[in-house]
Amino acid sequence: MSTTELYGGAITINKLPSSFIDISRIRQVPDSQEVFINEVDSTNPTLSSLLTYDQALIFDLLERVDADDYESAIAQHLQDFAPSNTANHPLQEVQIDGGDELLYFSYVSFKPEYERQEHNQAKQIVILICLLRLDKVGTDVLIQYNLPLKREHEGSINFAGGDNEIDKFASERFEWFKNLCASFKIADWKLFQ
Protein backbone atom coordinates (compact mmCIF):
# COMPACT_ATOMS: atom_id res chain seq x y z
CA MET A 1 0.00 0.00 0.00
CA SER A 2 1.31 3.45 -0.84
CA THR A 3 1.87 5.97 1.91
CA THR A 4 1.90 9.68 2.61
CA GLU A 5 5.10 10.89 4.25
CA LEU A 6 4.95 13.27 7.18
CA TYR A 7 7.77 15.25 8.78
CA GLY A 8 10.13 14.67 5.86
CA GLY A 9 9.44 10.93 5.79
CA ALA A 10 10.15 10.29 9.49
CA ILE A 11 6.49 9.26 9.87
CA THR A 12 4.19 7.61 7.34
CA ILE A 13 0.44 7.04 7.11
CA ASN A 14 -1.81 5.41 4.54
CA LYS A 15 -1.91 7.39 1.31
CA LEU A 16 -4.24 10.37 1.65
CA PRO A 17 -6.76 10.85 -1.16
CA SER A 18 -5.71 13.39 -3.79
CA SER A 19 -8.38 15.82 -2.50
CA PHE A 20 -6.21 16.44 0.60
CA ILE A 21 -3.93 19.43 0.09
CA ASP A 22 -0.75 19.94 2.10
CA ILE A 23 -1.14 23.43 3.60
CA SER A 24 2.64 23.92 3.83
CA ARG A 25 2.57 24.46 0.06
CA ILE A 26 0.36 27.51 0.64
CA ARG A 27 1.54 28.95 3.95
CA GLN A 28 4.10 28.32 6.67
CA VAL A 29 3.26 25.58 9.19
CA PRO A 30 5.11 25.05 12.50
CA ASP A 31 7.76 22.29 12.39
CA SER A 32 5.76 20.28 14.92
CA GLN A 33 2.68 20.17 12.66
CA GLU A 34 1.50 18.69 9.40
CA VAL A 35 -1.77 20.20 8.16
CA PHE A 36 -3.97 19.12 5.26
CA ILE A 37 -7.32 20.36 4.03
CA ASN A 38 -9.80 18.18 2.20
CA GLU A 39 -11.86 20.15 -0.26
CA VAL A 40 -15.60 19.66 0.01
CA ASP A 41 -16.75 17.96 -3.18
CA SER A 42 -19.52 20.22 -4.46
CA THR A 43 -20.68 17.44 -6.80
CA ASN A 44 -21.42 15.22 -3.78
CA PRO A 45 -24.86 16.36 -2.56
CA THR A 46 -24.48 14.70 0.87
CA LEU A 47 -21.18 16.42 1.65
CA SER A 48 -22.18 19.80 0.27
CA SER A 49 -25.41 19.67 2.30
CA LEU A 50 -23.55 18.81 5.54
CA LEU A 51 -20.22 20.65 5.50
CA THR A 52 -19.64 24.38 5.24
CA TYR A 53 -15.91 24.51 4.64
CA ASP A 54 -13.07 22.20 3.83
CA GLN A 55 -12.24 19.54 6.38
CA ALA A 56 -8.89 19.93 8.16
CA LEU A 57 -6.58 17.07 9.15
CA ILE A 58 -3.87 18.12 11.63
CA PHE A 59 -0.95 16.10 12.99
CA ASP A 60 0.70 17.70 16.00
CA LEU A 61 3.81 16.53 17.88
CA LEU A 62 3.41 17.96 21.37
CA GLU A 63 5.32 17.82 24.61
CA ARG A 64 3.87 15.00 26.68
CA VAL A 65 1.51 16.40 29.29
CA ASP A 66 1.69 15.18 32.87
CA ALA A 67 -1.44 13.05 33.01
CA ASP A 68 -1.98 9.50 34.20
CA ASP A 69 -4.69 8.59 31.70
CA TYR A 70 -5.73 9.44 28.17
CA GLU A 71 -8.85 11.37 29.14
CA SER A 72 -6.87 13.71 31.40
CA ALA A 73 -4.23 14.19 28.70
CA ILE A 74 -6.90 15.05 26.12
CA ALA A 75 -8.50 17.49 28.56
CA GLN A 76 -5.18 19.31 28.88
CA HIS A 77 -4.61 19.40 25.12
CA LEU A 78 -8.18 20.64 24.52
CA GLN A 79 -7.27 23.88 26.27
CA ASP A 80 -5.12 24.75 23.24
CA PHE A 81 -7.72 24.33 20.49
CA ALA A 82 -11.28 24.12 21.80
CA PRO A 83 -13.45 26.64 23.64
CA SER A 84 -13.39 26.37 27.42
CA ASN A 85 -15.84 23.90 28.95
CA THR A 86 -15.81 21.75 25.79
CA ALA A 87 -16.47 18.16 26.80
CA ASN A 88 -14.38 15.28 25.54
CA HIS A 89 -16.46 12.29 24.42
CA PRO A 90 -14.44 9.03 24.46
CA LEU A 91 -15.10 6.74 21.50
CA GLN A 92 -12.64 3.87 21.37
CA GLU A 93 -9.14 2.61 22.17
CA VAL A 94 -7.22 0.66 19.52
CA GLN A 95 -3.91 -1.19 19.87
CA ILE A 96 -1.51 -0.51 17.00
CA ASP A 97 -0.63 -3.71 15.14
CA GLY A 98 2.81 -5.00 16.08
CA GLY A 99 3.38 -2.40 18.80
CA ASP A 100 2.66 -1.51 22.38
CA GLU A 101 1.16 1.87 21.50
CA LEU A 102 -2.50 2.57 22.14
CA LEU A 103 -4.57 4.94 20.03
CA TYR A 104 -7.20 6.77 22.05
CA PHE A 105 -10.12 8.12 20.01
CA SER A 106 -12.61 10.73 21.12
CA TYR A 107 -14.45 13.73 19.78
CA VAL A 108 -15.48 17.20 20.80
CA SER A 109 -18.36 19.23 19.45
CA PHE A 110 -19.08 22.91 19.91
CA LYS A 111 -20.66 25.95 18.33
CA PRO A 112 -18.26 28.49 16.84
CA GLU A 113 -17.55 31.32 19.27
CA TYR A 114 -17.84 33.95 16.58
CA GLU A 115 -20.53 34.92 14.09
CA ARG A 116 -19.71 35.42 10.46
CA GLN A 117 -21.93 37.31 8.09
CA GLU A 118 -21.84 34.43 5.63
CA HIS A 119 -24.82 32.26 4.74
CA ASN A 120 -22.77 29.07 4.97
CA GLN A 121 -21.23 29.62 8.41
CA ALA A 122 -20.60 26.45 10.40
CA LYS A 123 -23.31 25.96 13.00
CA GLN A 124 -21.38 23.20 14.79
CA ILE A 125 -17.75 22.08 14.73
CA VAL A 126 -17.03 18.40 15.31
CA ILE A 127 -13.41 17.41 15.85
CA LEU A 128 -12.42 13.76 15.81
CA ILE A 129 -9.33 13.29 17.98
CA CYS A 130 -6.70 10.58 18.17
CA LEU A 131 -4.06 10.66 20.90
CA LEU A 132 -0.93 8.50 20.74
CA ARG A 133 1.37 8.82 23.76
CA LEU A 134 5.03 8.10 23.02
CA ASP A 135 6.41 7.72 26.55
CA LYS A 136 9.97 6.86 25.54
CA VAL A 137 10.41 10.18 23.72
CA GLY A 138 8.17 12.34 25.94
CA THR A 139 5.78 13.18 23.10
CA ASP A 140 2.02 13.22 22.65
CA VAL A 141 0.93 12.82 19.04
CA LEU A 142 -2.41 14.55 18.61
CA ILE A 143 -4.29 13.98 15.37
CA GLN A 144 -7.38 16.09 14.71
CA TYR A 145 -9.95 15.78 11.95
CA ASN A 146 -12.18 18.87 11.83
CA LEU A 147 -15.67 18.62 10.38
CA PRO A 148 -17.50 21.99 10.16
CA LEU A 149 -21.24 21.22 9.95
CA LYS A 150 -23.86 23.43 8.31
CA ARG A 151 -26.47 22.48 10.87
CA GLU A 152 -26.51 21.48 14.50
CA HIS A 153 -26.99 17.92 15.63
CA GLU A 154 -29.32 17.52 18.59
CA GLY A 155 -27.75 15.45 21.37
CA SER A 156 -24.72 13.18 21.03
CA ILE A 157 -23.51 12.13 17.62
CA ASN A 158 -23.72 8.38 16.98
CA PHE A 159 -20.36 7.38 15.52
CA ALA A 160 -21.51 3.78 15.16
CA GLY A 161 -24.12 4.73 12.57
CA GLY A 162 -27.62 5.99 13.07
CA ASP A 163 -30.77 6.97 11.29
CA ASN A 164 -30.02 10.56 10.42
CA GLU A 165 -27.69 12.00 7.80
CA ILE A 166 -25.18 13.48 10.28
CA ASP A 167 -24.82 10.21 12.23
CA LYS A 168 -24.26 8.24 9.02
CA PHE A 169 -21.70 10.76 7.79
CA ALA A 170 -19.94 10.88 11.20
CA SER A 171 -19.76 7.08 11.35
CA GLU A 172 -18.23 6.87 7.86
CA ARG A 173 -15.68 9.61 8.61
CA PHE A 174 -14.76 8.01 11.97
CA GLU A 175 -14.05 4.64 10.30
CA TRP A 176 -11.83 6.37 7.74
CA PHE A 177 -10.08 8.36 10.50
CA LYS A 178 -9.48 5.23 12.63
CA ASN A 179 -7.93 3.38 9.70
CA LEU A 180 -5.73 6.35 8.87
CA CYS A 181 -4.51 6.75 12.48
CA ALA A 182 -3.90 3.00 12.82
CA SER A 183 -1.54 3.25 9.82
CA PHE A 184 0.68 5.78 11.69
CA LYS A 185 4.25 4.46 11.59
CA ILE A 186 7.45 6.04 12.83
CA ALA A 187 10.19 5.39 10.29
CA ASP A 188 12.88 7.50 11.96
CA TRP A 189 12.91 8.04 15.73
CA LYS A 190 15.62 10.74 15.30
CA LEU A 191 12.73 13.10 14.62
CA PHE A 192 12.16 13.24 18.37
CA GLN A 193 15.73 14.18 19.33
Structural domain including 142 reads: 3-192
The C-alpha atoms of residue 43 and residue 46 are separated, in whole angstroms, by: 9
Question: pLDDT: is 86 or 191 the higher one?
Answer: 191
Question: Between the CA of residue 146 and those of 52, 73, 138, 189, what are the distances in Å?
Answer: 11, 19, 26, 28
Q: Check residue 1 and give its pLDDT.
A: 66
pLDDT at 41: 61
For residue 171, the surrounding DSSP H or E stretch is helix 165-182
How sure is the predictor about 19, in pLDDT bands with cuts at 50, 70 and 90? confident
- In this prediction, residue 138 carries a pLDDT of 94
pTM: 0.89
For 164-174, the pLDDT digits (tens) are: 888 888 888 99
The residue with greater pLDDT, 65 or 193, is: 65
Q: pLDDT tens digit string along 39-65?
A: 766 555 555 566 666 789 999 999 999
Residue 179, pLDDT score = 93
pLDDT exceeds cutoff 90 at 176 = yes
Q: In what order do the strands lie in the sheet with 139-149?
A: 20-22, 33-38, 55-63, 139-149, 124-134, 102-110, 89-95
What CATH number has the domain bearing residue 107? 3.40.1000.10
| Number of domain units in the chain | 1
Mean pLDDT score, 18-45 = 84
Q: HSE on the CB side for 76, CA within 13 Å? A: 13
The predicted structure's pLDDT at residue 163: 79
